[in-house]
Amino acid sequence: MKVALINGSPKPRGSASAMLLDGLRACLPAGLECVECPLHAVRPAEDPARLLLDTDALVLACPVYVDGLPAHLLTALEGLEAPLRRGGHGQRVYALVNCGFYEGAQTVNALDMLRCWSGRAGLIWGRGMGVGAGGALHALKKIPMGEPPKAALGEALAGLAADIAAGDGGPHVFSAPELTREEHCDATQRVWRRLAAANGLTEEDLNKTEFT
Ligand SMILES: Cc1cc2nc3c(=O)[nH]c(=O)nc-3n(C[C@H](O)[C@H](O)[C@H](O)COP(=O)(O)O)c2cc1C
Instruction: State yes or no: pLDDT of 44 exceeds 90.
Output: no
Query: Does the pLDDT of residue 211 top 80, yes or no?
Result: no
CA of 29 to the centre of ligand 1 (A): 30
Residues in the chain: 212
pLDDT for 206: 86
Are 6 and 91 spatial neighbours (Cβ–Cβ below 8 Å)? no
How many CB atoms within 10 Å of residue 178? 13
DSSP label at 187?
Answer: H
When pLDDT is averaged across residues 117-142 and rounded to a whole number, the result is 97
Residue closest by Cα to atom 2 of ligand 1: 65
pLDDT at 45: 83
- The rounded Å distance from CA 169 to ligand 1 centre is 26
Q: Does the structure show a pLDDT above 90 at 169?
A: yes
Q: What is the SS3 assignment for 210?
A: coil
Residue nearest to atom 1 of ligand 1 (CA): 65
Least confident window among 3-12, 104-113, 154-163, 191-200: 191-200
Task: Check residue 191 and give its pLDDT.
Answer: 92
- Euclidean distance between CA atoms 27 and 21, whole angstroms: 10
User: What is the pLDDT at residue 210?
Assistant: 84
pLDDT at 90: 93
- What average pLDDT does range 130-146 have in this prediction? 96
Reported as half-sphere exposure (CB side, CA atoms, 13 A), residue 119 has a value of: 6
Question: Has residue 167 got a pLDDT over 90?
Answer: yes
For residues 96 and 117, give the distance between their C-alpha atoms in angstroms, rounded to a whole number: 14
- Whether the full predicted model's pTM is greater than 0.85, yes or no, is yes
**Pick from 56, 71, 6: which is nearest to 36 by CA?**
6
Atom from ligand 1 closest to the CA of residue 106: 11
| Ligand 1 centroid, distance to 32 Cα (angstroms) | 31
Q: Mean pLDDT over all residues of the chain?
A: 96
User: Is the pLDDT reported for residue 173 higher than 90?
Assistant: yes
Cα–Cα distance measured from residue 88 to residue 24, given in angstroms and rounded to the nearest whole number = 24
